[in-house]
Amino acid sequence: MKHTILTVSLITMLGGFANADEKALLGIPGKVIFESKLEAELPKPWQAAKGKWEVVGGVLRGSEKPEDKHGAVTRMPGKLGDFIAEYEFKFEGGKTTSFSINGPKDHQARIMISPTFVTIQKDDSDHEGPDKPVVFARFATELKPSEWHKVRMEMVGDVMVGKVDDLVAWGSHDHFKNDHMSPGFTVAGQSVDFRNLKITEATLNPDWDKVKGSLPKPGEKVAPAAAPAAKKTAAQ
């Protein structure tokens, strides 16, 4: 009986590591903060700020509402420490989508995704002041509609890692030392689907320096930007 319990425990543990993306990057996942397959209505404590959020085909769908004159937004209120967030998405007509984190006063960081570009960046944190966004990487890509893609954001200390499928980049900024607030999804256009969201606490991977050496340096992979979007589809 003891051998059976030990075997089950090992299988469970190894399965957990596999679900945590198999290869550690910046952080080592810890306690689960939030987890949902997103197969029912928008789960609490998530709140829809803009747009339409509904379940279609067993997954969460976000769509911009023209009358809002603003991209669709849903966020989970509250403060995070160091964290790892993972989820899957697919385009169903949408123009762009992002996973973003706010700071105590304004935006902090995001992974912005369109069918042709993936951008990993520090956001403008004041809008009215001198701070500016910093693009750590912008990858040209081709994300076909109705195909699922995996996204991962990690923030530990003053470092951020963003990952979309096999595209990975990192960057560091003093603003990341501030509290991480209200993680959320944004959608421009109609529509984008989401599933399998998991947010965990994180501690620094002891092999981060080694991992970092295998990744592009911040600013090294920055493809030319696409044409500017209309104001209503700007970062939310």
CATH label of the domain that carries residue 39: 2.60.120.560
| Residue 211: per-residue pLDDT | 97
Q: Is residue 76 part of a domain?
A: yes
Residue 65: is its pLDDT beyond 90? yes
Q: Is residue 7 part of a domain?
A: no
Q: Is residue 216 part of a domain?
A: yes
Question: Is the pTM for the entire model greater than 0.95?
Answer: no
Q: Is residue 11 part of a domain?
A: no
Where is 19: in which H helix or E strand? helix 2-19
| Residue 84: per-residue pLDDT | 98
| Residue 104: per-residue pLDDT | 87
- Residue 217, phi then psi, degrees to nearest 5: -70, 150
> Alpha-carbon distance 149 to 87, whole Å?
9
Residue 10: is its pLDDT beyond 80? no
| Residue 227: per-residue pLDDT | 59
Interval 42-56 mean pLDDT: 95
In the chain, how many domains are there? 1
Interval 132-141 mean pLDDT: 96
Residue 100: is its pLDDT beyond 80? yes
> Alpha-carbon distance 96 to 229, whole Å?
10
Handedness of CA 172, 178, 183, 189 (dihedral sign): negative
Confidence of residue 226 (pLDDT cuts 50, 70, 90): low
Q: Is residue 3 part of a domain?
A: no
Confidence of residue 225 (pLDDT cuts 50, 70, 90): confident
Interval 185-196 mean pLDDT: 97
Domain hosting 105: range is 25-233
Q: Is residue 201 part of a domain?
A: yes
Q: Is residue 111 part of a domain?
A: yes
